[in-house]
Amino acid sequence: MNKVYQLVSTNTETGQRLDLFLAKQDISLSRAQIQRLIRAGRVTVNQSLVKAHHKLKEGDQIEVVVPPPTESKIQSEPIPLDIVYEDDSLLVINKTWGMVVHPAAGNYTGTLVNALLFHCHDLSGIGGQERPGIVHRLDKDTSGLLVVAKDDYTHQQLAKQWQKRTIKREYLALVKGEMLKDQGEINIPIGRHPLHRKKMWPNRIKGRPAITLYRVQERFRDFTLLKIVLKTGRTHQIRAHMAYLKYPIVGDLVYGRKLVIKDYSPELQEKIKGLKGQALHAATLGFIHPKRGEYMEFHAPLPDEFQELLMALRRERLSVSQVLFL
């Protein structure tokens, strides 16, 4: 049976976008789900169909019709998961390199969602049939922490924390090049690349706001290890921002280039070749538990190959230093 919500906008909401207005209401819907309902013609303003960016006026009559959830057609699969934390409301997963988060063209099996459906049997439906429980994503070749919601209330409350930018997200990234500045902020909007539709790129006119903070952790010859803090969560944000600065993520063949490694030691060459993904790892994730109201923070160690690459870089740095002081 459909759920029907009837709302009336007030004077303080005059000029507000319809999707933003609905996202703030207590109707257990994320902004993404609201936008899908609007596109499907299930949201009306004064009995007329409108778009998500429709600006409200005082006294507008808004009706939202939410259809019952449909059974997911995605198959559960017994894929091992590195579960960092789990309770009745959510899970925190340490995702491995190479795992796609949700089914899409070319990847209908072997995804995190396939594994989660086997482990949990039921998940929040707000993400839609293809993305049950998925509050946020990591790229296929990015490792590290992400949180999964088991029920709609948890999903909605976590999504609100994302919208308010109160989620703590820290990454470790190895970039090509020796960064001179100790720290910095990249505040450049991101949009679709004009030529390559699968890529994102800084676009100050049509892009969406994107803020990335970085701080140098270690410097090596030709490389820099960074701690990166996300203030927004755009698709490929870190990868696009770092490539824009001319410091692409090591192993990122979409925004960077294949490394010329012949000038490095045999050990370092081997470790660079041994990377199974890009040297980008979601190391820290912190949020307020939607039901308990307490702050929780989780940490995930670097993948072994990433750690071994750093050790090889440190050994090479040490050997170069010894030569210089002979």
pLDDT at 322: 46
In a domain, 74, yes or no: no
Ramachandran area for residue 222 (φ above 0: left; ψ -120 to 50: alpha; else beta): left
Q: Which helix (H) or strand (E) holds 242?
A: helix 237-244
Closest-CA residue to 224 (of 180, 270, 265): 180
**Predicted confidence (pLDDT) per residue in 97-143, tens digit:** 988 887 776 667 888 888 888 888 777 665 555 567 788 889 999 99
Beta-carbon contacts of 308 under 8 Å, excluding residues fewer than 6 positions away, are 271, 274
Could you give the CA distance from residue 120 to residue 128 in angstroms, rounded to a whole number? Answer: 16
The answer to whether residue 214 is domain-embedded is yes
pLDDT at site 320: 53
Do 58 and 141 lie in one domain? The reply is no
The CATH code of the domain that includes 232 is 3.30.2350.10
Domain final residue pick, 159, 193, 223? 159
Do 314 and 174 lie in a common domain? yes
Q: How far apart are CA 121 and CA 76, in angstroms?
A: 8
Contacts of 101 (CB under 8 A, 6+ apart): 95, 111, 112, 113, 131, 134, 137, 138, 140, 146
Residue 115 domain flag:
yes
The two structure tokens encoding residue 101? 């988060």
Asked whether residue 77 is assigned to any structural domain, the reply reads no
Query: Which residues form the domain of 201?
Result: 168-324
What is the domain-level CATH number for residue 48?
3.10.290.10
Residues 172 and 320 in one domain: yes
Picking from 118, 142, 159, the residue at the C-terminal end of a domain is 159
pLDDT tens, per residue, the chain with 326 residues: 788 999 999 999 999 999 989 988 877 777 778 888 999 999 999 999 999 999 999 999 999 998 876 666 778 889 999 999 999 999 999 999 988 887 776 667 888 888 888 888 777 665 555 567 788 889 999 999 999 998 888 888 898 898 888 999 999 999 999 999 999 999 999 998 888 878 898 888 888 999 999 999 999 999 999 999 999 989 899 999 999 999 999 999 899 888 877 778 899 999 988 888 899 999 999 999 999 999 999 999 999 999 999 999 999 887 654 444 43
Q: Are residues 62 and 88 in the same domain?
A: no
Alpha carbons 326 and 323: distance in angstroms, whole number: 5
Catalytic residue among 19, 139, 152, 252: 139
pLDDT of residue 59: 94
Q: Report CA torsion sign: 257, 258, 261, 267.
A: positive
Q: Are residues 284 and 229 both part of a single domain?
A: yes
> Active-site residue 139, yes or no?
yes
Q: Which of 66, 98, 119 is the last residue of a domain?
A: 66
Same domain flag for 155 and 173: no
Tens digits of per-residue pLDDT, 287-308? 999 999 999 999 999 999 999 9
